[in-house]
Homo-oligomer: A and B are copies of this chain.
Amino acid sequence: MASINKVILIGNLGKDPEVRHLEGGVAVARFPLATSETFKDKNGDRQERTEWHNIVVWRGLAEVAEKYVKKGQSVYIEGRIRTNSYQDKDGVQRYSTEIVADNMTMLGGRPDGGSSAQGSGSGSYNNEPSSAGVSTSSGSMGANKGGNSKSVAYEEEPDDLPF
């Protein structure tokens, strides 16, 4: 086998996350994330191209996204590529690619607050750009709200070993 499917993104949310709470209490959040690259075209003019990524986060990370992550903010995402296939109305096979995140870290950024249910003004964020400092990794935590699998992993690592 020997398979690796890993994505690392830093970008800005194009919209607030859309969160759904499934039967069983599992949360799923989705949001578009923009990354942009600058390059010079053949005339030497500086051009920018923006890439939009469909981010999906589950469980504890979805709840973090729901509470703390807003349109405009900058986040670090680690995850894997997943392409779903479906039939369109004409029966043609179509593909839709998304990034299933298993690590999300807020980097601050510029939330506009405008479309946020919590309605947090932009001022407080701008005064403390990356103060929220919320970072979570998904893992086998199930619906374990507020859990952080990374902490759990470290917790059981005996750190006071003689080497």
Instruction: Give the B-binding residues of A (Cβ under 8 A).
Output: 1-11, 22, 24, 26, 28, 34-42, 44, 51-53, 58-59, 74, 76, 78, 80-83, 85, 90, 94-97, 99, 102, 105-110, 126-130, 133, 135, 138-143, 148-159, 161-162
Contacts and interface: CB of A to CB of B under 8 A. Distances in A.
Report how many copies the assembly holds: 4
A127 B126 CA distance: 6
Contact of A3 (B6, B10, B127, B141): B10
B155 A41 contact: yes
A105 B82 CA distance: 20
B74 A107 contact: yes
A51 B82 contact: yes
B11 A3 contact: yes
A122 to B, nearest CB: 11
